[in-house]
Amino acid sequence: MSSHEQAVASLISQLALSFDGAVLGAALAYAALRTIFRFKATSTALRKIRGAPYFRVADLRSLLEEDRSDSHEEPIVVIRGAVEARSATDLRSLKSLKSNVLVSQESGDKAVIIQRTQTVPFILVEGGQWPQSDFVIVNMNGSKHPLPLTTVYHQLHPINASPYTFLQALFGHEYPVGLLDEEKILPVGKEISAVGICGFSNGVPEVKACKELPYFLTDMTKDQMLLDLAFKTKILFWSGVVLGSLSIGILGYAFVRNWNKWKERRLRRFQQAANAATDDSTLQMDLDEELGDVPDGELCVVCLMRRRRSAFIPCGHLVCCQHCAVSVERELVPKCPVCRMAIRSSVRIYAS
């Protein structure tokens, strides 16, 4: 790690621990809130996918017609089928079929999506029964979900991580771990599942993405999706509990520490004001007390210089000069120097 990176790391650690850890506690609280929101979203998606019917492509049309007659809302369904170019539905033109299928430059495989940047319209068909089976149109408009792409070329050039990686990971942003050169495709004939809102488009079944669900097109079956979401839900729940507990503990500690510091500063200001008001009288009193010889039995037990003049309340011990008695009273937990009993105040004793 370079000197610049070490300086940045040191600055980040000092910032996190500043105000007795209040900044770190606030960051953990933010992470806990994000985790809770993700937990709620994942739980909602789990309930919706668990309640979504699982259809074969061949049975989808009849079931959708029944649901449409009963309800005006488009249902969320799970469909399993094989990828096929939409142009394959037009059996009248082989030229159209060729012009609407992409070809990978690395592997030569036919595909409908390459690197998410090149896409042709495609459908899902019943695996092994096309072109005799029915089909479902896949509507990709507005979908930002991850796609079940197959990697046909991959080469990674690692780069060194920096202290900024911690901040990027903490606040949920992606950060580079290497320079990646790869090609991914969605090949024709691949078996995938589509999870989304299903309806009719010009009399043909169509499925489109649902923003509230974490999946749209995936390699997983419905059971695998449910297991994956259930696992993520548990992880997010306990992560939220741990992060929330840590943030509450750290923020509570920081609050108590800063509250005590504030009280100490406030007490110190009062003491300074009291000292300023009594400096003149105390100085004159000390000069008077130091005049002449003081017998050993009458010396202050604290300074051993001045005569005993103040008695502590409630113990009543007359063991300190007035100057030392005031100092004892200003302690956070004032106690008598002799009996160690807690004292409330002191009173000046005058010789008659």
For 201-238, give one letter per residue: b (16+ CB within 10 A) or e.
eeeebbbbbbeebbbbbbebebeebeebbeebbeebee
Q: First and final CA of the chain: distance in angstroms?
A: 78
Domain 292-348 -> CATH class: alpha beta
Length of the chain: 352
**Domain residue extents for the chain:** 3-247, 292-348
Higher pLDDT, 160 or 201: 201
Q: Which residues pair with 85 in a beta bridge?
A: 122
Q: What is the pLDDT of residue 93?
A: 43
Express as a percent the part of the chain with pLDDT over 70. 74
- pLDDT tens for each residue of 192-245: 999 999 888 887 888 999 988 999 999 999 999 999 999 999 999 999 999 999
Q: What is the value of pTM for the model shown?
A: 0.62
User: Which pLDDT tens digit goes with each residue over 64-117?
Assistant: 666 655 555 678 889 888 888 887 776 544 444 445 788 887 778 888 888 767
Which backbone phi and psi does 267 adopt, to 5 degrees?
-65, -35
Average pLDDT over every residue of 297-316: 89
Here the tokens at position 62 are 């009849």
121-141 pLDDT, tens digit per residue, is 888 888 766 666 688 889 988
Closest CA to 243 of 34, 31, 8, 70: 31
Closest among 298, 294, 338 to 316, alpha carbons compared? 338
Identify which of 298, 328, 300 has the alpha carbon closest to the alpha carbon of residue 313.
Answer: 328
Q: pLDDT tens for residues 276-290? A: 666 556 555 555 555
| pLDDT value at residue 92 | 40
